[in-house]
Amino acid sequence: MGNEDLLKIAKNARIRSVCPLSSYAVGAALLAKSGTVYIGTNIEDKVIMSLANCAERVAIQNAITHGDKEILKIAVVGGKKDSNYLDNTVPCGACLQYMLNLDENIEVIFYNDGEVCVKKVKDFFVQPFKLD
């Protein structure tokens, strides 16, 4: 599956975002080694902010729940809820660390000024936190 295909799936996942606090909708599409694609969207709780979930972690947990623990790549898109314009959205630090703990070579696909960019998770860090 190509990067553009994953970005398109992430855009469709973004439509399901629940973001009453930020009005910032994020979608993610993850390709597992099995060839299966899993989606995620950000989900905010309007009462308790700390109960929010990022689209990337929702997609990862969806994959793991279905028995897919080997992730090849994940596409991430985001922008204001009621807009078709997509910002330069990359995973937050918590999501990057979460991915790093699974596999530092997961490819992250995102837009930067309208261009498709691909970086490995490890390349987002100057000095990643590791226990080993």
SS3 call for 2: coil
Q: Which of 102, 92, 111 is nearest to 42 (CA)?
A: 92
| Active-site choice (4, 44, 56, 115) | 56
Task: Give 118's DSSP letter.
Answer: E
112 and 68 Cβ atoms separated by less than 8 Å: no
- Asked if residue 89 lies in contact with residue 26, where contact means CB atoms within 8 angstroms, the answer is yes
107 is an active site residue: no
Cβ distance 94 to 52 under 8 Å?
no
Active site (catalytic) residues? 56
